[in-house]
């Protein structure tokens, strides 16, 4: 009954070669998970000047040495090691610097899978660069896909859920994530420790980039088959009611100070169905944990809740389970609504690179 019958793991192990671009908290967690699954990691790349240069990726990740030293000469590293796919965990937006990273990988004929939030659905908010990258990937016969926690919990679980609806009026999600899971850069970005006045000033003076929620709603609309019309974002601070310790910043946040904020994004669609996501990123108090909760109005009303989700873990595990789909996808930027249904990938599927022949062709092409 299984489509694995007849293959043995050893026959085909080590066929898929993976590189890690960005050995930060997420990149190293992905390294640990890939190593535990027996996937072959062939290269690790970081920015010039990083303190991690020359270190063994396995040692940095807290597992056995992998014989893979972190380097910053991306082009040479990719040319020498010929990865089938490069995991990119560097930055959120498709800005010029990130475009250059993706383009370097694509020009080395390797596929890209990334946690970068804007890459989940980059066309509405980063159109020109996304189009250029899409064309470059098509020229080189490789795929570029953004995935992560949102893929499962903010898009595809919701899309399957609404597959049980007769009619939809609104699809509303509420979720929270802990700033302390993601390090000091994100804590600063979430305005942790500021006064409400400082927060308000920041909010009014800042050209906010597109929220994670907005990008997810575009992906959700595509997955459901809806046509985006108008997107709006409303942002409100979460204020500490008692002194709260922030692990990421290694300090206590006094009562009355900002612990983070809530973005409420709404995407109206031409079909008249409103998609809403209310996302709170803050320093958690003891006892709080990540959750996702979705409700629809329409006939019948629908509900879904995930409790005690460890977002930092599921971001990495989702990326790993998507590797075979990206290896098997058509060339270009392929957003998650165009991939097969997300599923658990037993080790064999992960090692042999998934669903079809393209990965083999791609590997041959880059050899």
Q: Which residues bind its own copies (CB under 8 A)?
A: 1-5, 33, 36-37, 123, 149, 152-153, 156-157, 159-166, 168, 222-228, 270-271, 299-310, 313-314, 316-318, 320-321, 340-346, 349
Nearer to its own copies, 124 or 281 (CB): 124
Shortest gap between Cβ of 341 and its own copies (angstroms)? 4
Shortest gap between Cβ of 109 and its own copies (angstroms)? 27
Question: Rounded to 10 degrees, what is the CA torsion of 96, 112, 32, 74?
Answer: -60
**By the 8 A CB rule, do 196 and 239 touch?**
yes
Nearer to its own copies, 112 or 350 (CB): 350
Nearer to its own copies, 115 or 316 (CB): 316
Nearer to its own copies, 18 or 101 (CB): 18
Shortest gap between Cβ of 322 and its own copies (angstroms)? 8
**By the 8 A CB rule, do 333 and 133 touch?**
yes
Nearer to its own copies, 334 or 342 (CB): 342
Shortest gap between Cβ of 10 and its own copies (angstroms)? 17
Nearer to its own copies, 49 or 308 (CB): 308
Shortest gap between Cβ of 354 and its own copies (angstroms)? 11
- Ranges of beta strands (E only) in the chain are 17-21, 40-45, 70-71, 85-88, 111-114, 143-146, 167-178, 228-239, 244-246, 251-253, 258-269, 274-282, 291-299, 302-307, 332-333
Q: How many angstroms from the chain centroid is the CA of residue 54? A: 27
The 3-state DSSP class for residue 146 equals strand
Shortest gap between Cβ of 253 and its own copies (angstroms)? 27
Q: What is the DSSP string of 316-354?
A: HHHHHHHHHHHHHSPSEE--GGGSPPP----HHHHHHTS
Shortest gap between Cβ of 8 and its own copies (angstroms)? 13
Which residues are within 8 A (CB) of 268 and not within 5 positions of it... i.e. 6 or more apart? 228, 229, 230, 231, 274
Which residues are within 8 A (CB) of 349 and not within 5 positions of it... i.e. 6 or more apart? 4, 324
């Amino acid at each position: 009954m299984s489509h694995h019958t007849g293959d043995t793991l050893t026959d085909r192990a080590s066929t898929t070669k993976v590189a890690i671009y960005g050995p930060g908290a997420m990149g190293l967690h992905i390294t640990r998970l890939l190593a535990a699954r027996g996937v072959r990691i062939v290269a690790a790349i970081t920015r010039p000047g990083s303190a991690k240069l020359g270190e063994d990726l396995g040692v940095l990740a807290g597992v056995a040495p992998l014989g893979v030293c972190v380097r910053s000469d991306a082009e040479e590293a990719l040319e020498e090691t010929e990865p089938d796919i490069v995991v990119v965990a560097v930055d959120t937006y498709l800005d010029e610097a990130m475009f250059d990273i993706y383009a370097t990988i694509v020009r080395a004929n390797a596929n890209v899978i990334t946690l970068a939030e804007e890459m989940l659905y980059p066309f509405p908010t980063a159109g020109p660069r996304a189009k250029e990258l899409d064309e470059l990937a098509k020229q080189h016969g490789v795929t570029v896909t953004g995935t992560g926690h949102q893929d499962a919990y903010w898009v595809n679980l919701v899309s399957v859920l609404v597959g049980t609806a007769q009619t939809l009026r609104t699809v509303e999600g509420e979720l929270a994530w802990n700033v302390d899971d993601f390090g000091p850069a994100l804590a600063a970005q979430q305005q942790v420790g500021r006064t409400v006045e400082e927060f308000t000033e920041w909010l009014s003076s800042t050209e906010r980039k597109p929220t994670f929620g907005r990008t997810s709603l575009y992906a959700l609309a595509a997955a459901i088959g809806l046509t985006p019309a108008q997107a709006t974002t409303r942002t409100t601070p979460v204020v500490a009611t008692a002194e709260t310790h922030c692990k990421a910043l290694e300090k206590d946040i006094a009562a009355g100070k900002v612990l983070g904020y809530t973005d409420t994004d709404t995407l109206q669609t031409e079909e008249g169905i409103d998609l809403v996501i209310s996302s709170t990123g803050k320093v958690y108090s003891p006892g709080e944990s990540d959750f996702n909760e979705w409700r629809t109005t329409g006939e019948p009303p629908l509900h879904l809740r995930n409790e005690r989700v460890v977002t930092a873990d599921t971001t990495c595990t989702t990326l790993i389970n998507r590797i075979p789909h990206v290896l098997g996808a058509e060339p270009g930027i392929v957003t998650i609504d165009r991939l097969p249904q997300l599923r658990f990938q037993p080790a064999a599927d992960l090692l042999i690179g998934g669903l079809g022949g393209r990965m083999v062709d791609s590997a041959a092409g880059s050899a």
